[in-house]
Chains A and B, each alone.
Chain A
Amino acid sequence: DAGVIQSPRHEVTEMGQEVTLRCKPISGHNSLFWYRQTMMRGLELLIYFNNNVPIDDSGMPEDRFSAKMPNASFSTLKIQPSEPRDSAVYFCASRILANEQFFGPGTRLTVL
């Protein structure tokens, strides 16, 4: 199994640009999570999906952030427009039922 796959691994962009982060969960997993990690705030849950349906998006910072899961094998997190304070490492994770949650390698985003 390839594990959770995220792309790109690094993204450098300028303020105001649109950023799209991508995630492919582990095959067969029915829950997908997006987290953001910063030194100041640690790991914060942004949004999660069960069976492709968004369950809790209360962690999404503001309307500039949006996430979709069009099918069981793909999800995107979009930031439009991006701001310097969005700079962080964004992790995608997946799990099935009550089992272990597995994380992807993360996308390091830098907004200049």
Chain B
Amino acid sequence: KQEVTQIPAALSVPEGENLVLNCSFTDSAIYNLQWFRQDPGKGLTSLLLIQSSQREQTSGRLNASLDKSSGRSTLYIAASQPGDSATYLCAVRSNQAGTALIFGKGTTLSVSS
């Protein structure tokens, strides 16, 4: 059974700092991996989707990498801003037709000004 772990559970950084959020999964046979952002009391917003054949995806100040063989993904946030404060969730889709995303518990990021 696929398990997804995100470390750390919480992270506080000053504005302007570059940071890395970590995600690990137990079964390397994944179809794709998706990073989400969730603001308090809100739904999930998709940030980046990485297919299993890809090594990384970039969107603005965000860069997500994928290393299937080691069961790891990282989300790099450059020049963090207070508006980046949120919970970041990693989710993987197993390498079987029509499967669902399995989520980690998230990393709650706080960026202070």
Contacts and interface: CB of A to CB of B under 8 A. Distances in A.
Given A43-B89, A98-B31, A105 B42 contact: yes
Contact of A99 (B44, B45, B49): B49
**In the complex, which range does the number of interface residues on chain A fall in?**
20 to 34
Interface string B75-113: 000000000000001010100001111111110000000
Nearest to B89: A43
Contacts of A80: none
B103 A103 contact: no
B51 A101 contact: no
Given A43-B89, A91-B43, A91-B44, A101 B98 contact: no
Interface of B: 31-32, 34, 36, 42-46, 49, 51, 89, 91, 93, 98-106
